[in-house]
Amino acid sequence: MIRISDLTKRFGAVEAVRGVSLEVPQGAFLVLVGPSGCGKSTMLRMLAGLEAPSGGTIEFDGKMVSDGSREWTVEASRRNAGLVFQSYALWPHMTVAGNVEWPLKVGKWATAERAARVAEVLSLLAIDDLANRFPNEISGGQQQRVAIARMIAPKPGILLFDEPLSNLDAKLRVEMRTELLKIHRATAATSVYVTHDQVEAMTMASHVAVMNHGLVEQFGAPEDLVAEPATSFVATFLGTPPNNMIAVEPWEGGARLAGGSLLPGFALERPVNFMYRAEDLSLAEAANGRTLALEFAEASPIAGRYMVTGIVGDLRLTAIVDRAPHLAPGDTLHFKIPDKPAAVFATSGERLS
């Protein structure tokens, strides 16, 4: 449904998106996830037709909608795509029904068809009782539902979401994730959703594109990205908690954790990073040949167990354990390191094994 080929966007000397290529099948729920400034919102704006690419192409359903090399792009209103902004952008002088009806008026729908469609989408979003209220008379969560209703009213083939849950409280965010997926299934549209929240990404997506510095570091199904991260950035960005990354260096014909314990059985020619999953780390009562000493930072309950975190310098380790240690922040915590890492990455980020 969406094909992106070598897509690039430059703002002066800054390259916000750098040669991205993706193919998104019909009916997919693609999440663009990454830290602030990684280029994900710029990508979405190019898909929506609000930004013209500096290079590369975008196709919707086999039809070209943007070609950066020719400086040609189809305007936003002719792309069969709907967009929900982070700020919702509702018309304050229009009622809820009026906001939802507006794109249908622009699309020259007949009066009776407009009324039927407005009633249908208001019912779908469970806000039909708000039809005659104005945006300043309803809550933030209700405003978000109105913005989504307005987007889906013209029946677009592609739904675009720009961090639509970021203004909501934690409980409402969880509820609205479920609602958005219901809407996605009900409309049978292809959705592209931007977020910096990797929990949202992993719970909602059929496909995930992890972005960093304008590049897509990995693209695939959520479970595949968690099981087999392609780069150290993906490994430490995704997951709850994310994976642990420990620098390892050659030492007297073998290897050792940087500044720490020896690692028997490894012969290194250059420094690398070993990845350890949080569930594979454990705590030790005292230092021994397979431990690292860190300062205790926190212990948080998670699904009947505890997520224990320690910090020393730039190193931060998290282990999932059955019992929380009886320590105060700043006390010494000993992490026991497994015999083998879950993965090995070059210091430049790419996965080696």
Do the domain assignments include residue 151?
Answer: yes
Reduce the DSSP state of residue 175 to 3 states and report it: helix
Query: Over 80: is that where the pLDDT of 264 sits?
Result: no
Query: Over 80: is that where the pLDDT of 261 sits?
Result: no
Number of structural domains found in the chain: 2
Do the domain assignments include residue 189?
Answer: yes
The residue-averaged pLDDT of 10-15 equals 95
**Predicted pLDDT at 310:** 95
Range of the domain at 94: 2-237
DSSP secondary structure, 189-225, as one string: -EEEEEES-HHHHHHH-SEEEEEETTEEEEEE-HHHH
Please tell me the distance from the alpha carbon of residue 81 to that of residue 190, in angstroms, as a whole number: 9
- Identify whether residues 227 and 325 lie together within a single domain: no
Domain stops at, among 204, 237, 270: 237
Query: Over 80: is that where the pLDDT of 61 sits?
Result: yes
- Identify whether residues 203 and 275 lie together within a single domain: no
Confidence band, pLDDT 50/70/90 cuts, at residue 259: low
Q: What one-letter code names the amino acid at 146?
A: V
Do the domain assignments include residue 353?
Answer: no
**Predicted pLDDT at 172:** 84
117-156 confidence digits (pLDDT tens): 999 999 998 899 999 999 999 998 899 899 999 999 999 9
- Identify whether residues 267 and 124 lie together within a single domain: no
Query: Over 90: is that where the pLDDT of 277 sits?
Result: yes
- Identify whether residues 102 and 164 lie together within a single domain: yes
Burial readout 314-323 (b: 16 or more C-beta within 10 A, e: otherwise):
ebbbbbbbee
- Identify whether residues 26 and 159 lie together within a single domain: yes
- Identify whether residues 219 and 292 lie together within a single domain: no
Output the domain CATH number for residue 255. Answer: 2.40.50.140
| Mean of all residue pLDDT scores within the chain | 92
- Identify whether residues 262 and 187 lie together within a single domain: no
Confidence band, pLDDT 50/70/90 cuts, at residue 224: very high
Reduce the DSSP state of residue 82 to 3 states and report it: strand
Do the domain assignments include residue 107?
Answer: yes
- Identify whether residues 270 and 187 lie together within a single domain: no
**H or E element at residue 58:** strand 55-60
- Identify whether residues 145 and 207 lie together within a single domain: yes
